[in-house]
Amino acid sequence: MPTGSSSGDVPMVFLRERKKTIAKQALRRAAFDLFTTQGFEATTVEDIARRADVSRASFFRYFTAKEDVLAADDAERREALFALLDKENKPLLEGLHAAVSAYLAGMDAEALAQAAA
C-alpha cells in the first residue's frame, strides 16, 4: 500500500471519508426511524447503534448524545446559508430567498421530511 503523499493515498482518503459519511447517515436514518416508531424518550443510543449495525462506540464517534442526531448537520448548513447570503449581494429579502432555496435544495427528501417532522 502506498504511503506518504503519493497519489495512491488520495483514493484511500476518499474511501475513508465516504465510509464515515455512510455510517453517519445510517445512524441518522436509524435514529429517526426509531424516534418515529417508539418515541424519542424510549429510544436509546444502543437501539440506534444496533439498528444502524454499528457499535455503541461508533455512535459516539459521530454524535455526543442522541439529541445531537436531531441537529447533526445544522451547523454546516447554517454556515453554507450565511455564505450564500453574503455571496448573493442582493436586497435582503431577495438574497435571503435565494439563500434559503439553495439551503433547502441541499437537503434530500428524507432530510426534508425529518425536518418537517
Q: 8-69 maps to which CATH number?
A: 1.10.10.60
Q: From 9, 17, 15, 28, select the one nearest 108 (Cα to Cα).
A: 28
Specify the pTM.
0.56
Maximum Cα–Cα distance for the chain, whole Å? 54
Region(s) of the chain under CATH 1.10.10.60:
8-69
pLDDT digits (tens, 9 = 90+) for 12-34: 768 888 888 889 889 988 998 99
Task: Check residue 116 and give its pLDDT.
Answer: 55
Distance CA(56)–CA(50), nearest Å, equals: 8
Mean pLDDT of 68-80: 71
pLDDT over 70 for what percent of the chain?
A: 54
pLDDT digits (tens, 9 = 90+) for 47-69: 999 999 999 999 999 999 998 88
